[in-house]
Each structure stands twice: as C-alpha cells, then as structure tokens.
Amino acid sequence: MSEAMNVVDVPTTIDEQPLSRYQIFVMALCGLALFMDGFDTAAIGYVAPSLSKAWGLKAGTLGPVFGAGLFGLMIGALVLSPLADRIGRRYVIVFSSLFFGICALATAFATSVDQLFWIRLLTGLGLGGVMPNAIAMTSEFAPKRLRSTAVMVTFFGFALGSGLGGSIAAVLVLNFGWQSVFVFGGVLPLIFTAVLLTALPESIRVLTLRGTEAARVAALLARINPALRFDPSKTRFTASDEPTSKRFPVALLFHDGRAAVTLLLWVMFFVNLFELYFLANWLPTVAQDAGLSERLSMVNAGMIHLGGMFGAVLFGRIVDRVRPFPALAGMYLMSGVFVACIGLSGSTVPLFMISTFLSGFCIVGAQLSSNAVAAAYYPTVMRSTGVGWALGVGRFGSVIGPILGGIVIGLHWPISTMLTIGALPTIAATLAALTAGWLVDLKANRVAAADSQSAIVMECE
C-alpha cells in the first residue's frame, strides 16, 4: 500500500509563522520595483516645463503625451495582470521592468511630440504591469494579520519614487538637461532587472495552485521558516481559501442591491484619479507660471506624493475606526479645498508647497483608503472584480485629467481660476461618498430589522 500524502495548506501555514527576514526581503524587492515604476510614471510631468522650453512648444501641447502614457498604463494593467495568473507574477514584473526601462531610455532620444506620444504609450504598457503584480506578490507572501500593512508599506515604494523623483529630476535637469532624467529612469530599471531575475521568487500562491511545483513550494516555505521541512514527494500543497470557480462576472456587482453603491464607487475613483494625475502632470508647469524657479517647481511637484505617504497612514487608521464612506467624503472635500489653495497661493513659495503637500496628503491618502473601502464592501466571491473595475473606471479619469489640463493651460486662464475650477469635481466625489454611506447604512438597518423580526417570531413560536 502506498504511503498517504501529507496535505499542507500553504496560506494557513504562512499565517501561523512570524514575519521572516526572507518575506521582508521579497517585499523590499517589490517595493524597489514600485519605486522605479513611480519615478518613471511621474518623470514626464517633472521635465515638461524644460522640454517645452527646449522644443519651443505652446502651453498645453504635452497634454496628449501625458494621456498616452496613462492610457498605456491602464491597458498594461488590464492585459498583463491576467497574463500573470497564467505564467507567473515574477516573469511579468521582470519583463515589465525591462520593457519600461528600455522605453524610458528611448524617450531621451525623442525629437518630436509625435515620437514622444508613442514612446510614452509603450512606456505605460510596461509600467502598468508592475504595480498590480508587485502588490499581489507582497500580499501572497505576507501572513494574513499583516497583509494590509505589508501592501501599504510596499506601495510606499511607488509614492517614494514619485515624490523623490522631483528632487532627483531637479538636479539632473539643471546639470545635464531633460534627457538625463529618462537616462536615469531607464538605466536604473535595466540594472535592477538583473537583480529581480536572480533574487525575486515566484509567488508561492501561484506555485501552489499549479499543483506541479511541490519542490519549489517546499523550498520557499523552508526559507520563510527553516523549521518547515517537507518532503515534496510525500506532500500535497493546497490553498484552501481559494474559490473553486475563477469566474467573477461583472454582473454580480449590480445584484443584491449593490448597483447604486457600485456606480457611486466608480464616480469616487474616477474623480480622485482625475485630480491626482491632473496635478502630478501639470503642477511643475503651473508652478513655473506662478513664479517658482525651475528647481523649486520640480521639488514642489514631488510634495504631492510625499504628502500622500503620510495621508495613507493617517487615513488608513481613520477608516478602520469610523464609518468609512463619510470619512472618505471628508477626504475628498478637503482635497478640493487644498487644490484651490494651490492656485490662491500666488508666488508665495512656502504657501504653494504646503498647499501642494496637503493636496497630496488628501488625494493619495483618499485613493489608498478608497481601495480598502471597496475591498471591504464587496463579498469575497466578487472582491477582485469589484476593486479591479473601480480602478479600471478610475484610470479613465487619470487619462482625461492631464488631457483636459493641457486644454485649459492652452487657454491661458489665471492659475487661481484654473485650479479652483479643477477642484470642483471633488464635490461630486464627496456627494457620491455620502450617498454611498447612506445606502450602506440603510441596507444594514433593514437587515438588522429583519433579523430582529425573525428573532421575535422564533421566540413566540
């Protein structure tokens, strides 16, 4: 008689272990991949004033270029994320980093707006493949009790790359010209790709679900905790928390009274990402028009992402402790106020930079909190679909924001007028969040009343 196989549930096993140095190492690699992703995503906005001056471009000409990069990012995320489920997250992260590194280098050699448009579109395809898979990899290596914290800390890599990118770009542009920013943003990923290829493992969850990688799963568990020693030939690794069906139809988002809240979430994501990328791409140009120096305008733009890092920590804790939708409404409303304050700051540098920091504090912090709120709202069976589609609709806002910004800048409106009008969409997000909170509370009260009535009936019987 053959010996019975030892069945090991991998997620449960990981959840029972203390966080190891190896898990931290994997998360650090994912964070560094996101750092490069963040730098190259924001780079075009930082160099826009210098590039426009060097090429003699009219105000707002680069709007379609900004939109092309963000559209490519959206397509890359939608296409490469499902591909990663088939071939593995490691290969998609490595390939995407290599691809956008090459495209960033090519950007340095562009000689026309048309060339820049297509190169940034291709760059976005690579950038779009890194973020979802780096976050998924982090989530799948982290124990459940620390999963949200691990994802948040890893995501700081993106915010740090975007934020420090302003200071790095300021030094490079002033000393070596705008092209040097893309040389730096291209060479760094190419070097780091070799590190990823050597050191980044495949997702342990992906390997487990394949059912044919027992030796690799056993080796990874041993690296997480040397006490976990399993004979691959006598062990069957499983993931009991995975759904039996992989099909999550979008129609489920509109069933069981979820339709209105789903649409309201889409409004919230669209508006917030519209605001974020409108500022991230055009703020260096706006700052120079307001009278800030070239160096300060790039450093100031980085304040959006640095402020967002602090906002994410504070708002994440707030959302965990109070009713989430009203809390989001407050964040959206404050973000609109601070965006308008940027325009009203004039050429007063400290006020301009503080307003920018606080805008990022609210906008980026609200976006990360929105992700968590959406994930908590949808049941497990449709959580991935719910969050993914909310982000997908939001990405349209990230594309439209920079394009409309370019049109408005081309009209030569006063900065105070432009940013005050640009802040108005946050009112829609605020109202959407308040309405969604009211609907969620209303449904919860109805369920509670029904349960109470049922309990009374049973007691009478």
Residue type, 77: A
User: Given a cut of 50, is residue 80 above it in pLDDT?
Assistant: yes
Residue 215 in domain: no
**SS3 at position 7:** strand
pLDDT of residue 29: 93
Residue 238 in domain: no
Question: Per-residue pLDDT tens for 296-346?
Answer: 777 777 788 778 878 877 776 676 677 788 889 999 999 999 999 988 887
Residues 64 and 169 in one domain: yes
Confidence of residue 359 (pLDDT cuts 50, 70, 90): very high
Residues 20 and 78 in one domain: yes
Residue 436 in domain: yes
Residue 237 in domain: no
- The whole model's pTM is what? 0.73
How deeply is 12 buried, as exposed, middle or buried, from its count of CB atoms within 10 A (0-12, 13-18, 19+)? middle
Question: Per-residue pLDDT tens for 107-149?
Answer: 999 989 999 999 999 998 888 888 778 877 887 888 877 776 7
Task: Give 363-383 as a DSSP string.
Answer: HHHHHHHHHHHHHHHS-GGGH
Residue 233 in domain: no
Mean pLDDT for 8-12 is 82
Listed residues 184, 203, 222: the one ending a domain: 203
CA distance 461 to 450: 17
Residues 45 and 134 in one domain: yes
Give the total number of structural domains in the chain: 2
Mean pLDDT over the full length of the chain:
81
- Residue identified by tokens 């497990």 is 380
Question: Per-residue pLDDT tens for 13-71?
Answer: 888 888 889 999 999 999 899 898 888 888 887 888 888 888 988 867 888 888 888 88
CATH number of the domain encompassing residue 435: 1.20.1250.20
Q: Does residue 90 contact residue 207 with C-beta atoms inside 8 Å?
A: no
| β partners of residue 8 | 237
Residue type, 190: L
Residues 124 and 69 in one domain: yes
User: Given a cut of 80, is residue 418 above it in pLDDT?
Assistant: yes
Residues 37 and 150 in one domain: yes
pLDDT-wise least confident of 79-93, 259-273, 352-366, 442-456: 442-456
Residues 41 and 156 in one domain: yes
pLDDT of residue 379: 66
Residues 143 and 264 in one domain: no
Confidence of residue 382 (pLDDT cuts 50, 70, 90): low
42 or 453, higher pLDDT? 42
Contacts of range 358-362, beta carbons closer than 8 Å, 24 or more positions apart: 358/307, 358/334, 359/279, 359/304, 359/307, 359/335, 360/279, 360/303, 360/304, 360/305, 360/306, 360/307, 360/308, 360/311, 361/307, 361/308, 361/310, 361/311, 362/311, 362/331, 362/332, 362/334, 362/335, 362/338
Confidence of residue 244 (pLDDT cuts 50, 70, 90): very low
Query: Could you give the C-alpha distances from 448 to 348, 375, 389, 451, in angstroms and in order?
Result: 54, 22, 29, 5
CA distance 86 to 186: 28
Residue type, 317: R
Q: Does residue 284 contact residue 297 with C-beta atoms inside 8 Å?
A: yes
Domain that holds residue 163: 10-203
Q: How far is CA 103 from the centre of its chain?
A: 21
Q: What percent of the chain has pLDDT over 90?
A: 21
User: Given a cut of 80, is residue 455 above it in pLDDT?
Assistant: no
Closest CA to 409 of 52, 50, 41, 42: 52
User: Given a cut of 80, is residue 230 above it in pLDDT?
Assistant: yes
Residue 349 in domain: yes
Listed residues 174, 203, 232: the one ending a domain: 203
Residues 158 and 251 in one domain: no
Residue 236 in domain: no
| Token duo for residue 352 | 């301009």
205 or 275, higher pLDDT? 275
Mean pLDDT for 372-384 is 66
Residue 211 in domain: no
Q: Does residue 204 contact residue 171 with C-beta atoms inside 8 Å?
A: no
Residues 330 and 410 in one domain: yes
Listed residues 175, 203, 231: the one ending a domain: 203
Residues 159 and 254 in one domain: no
CA distance 333 to 314: 16
Most confident of 56-60, 168-172, 407-411: 168-172
User: Given a cut of 80, is residue 86 above it in pLDDT?
Assistant: no
Residues 184 and 257 in one domain: no
Residues 322 and 428 in one domain: yes
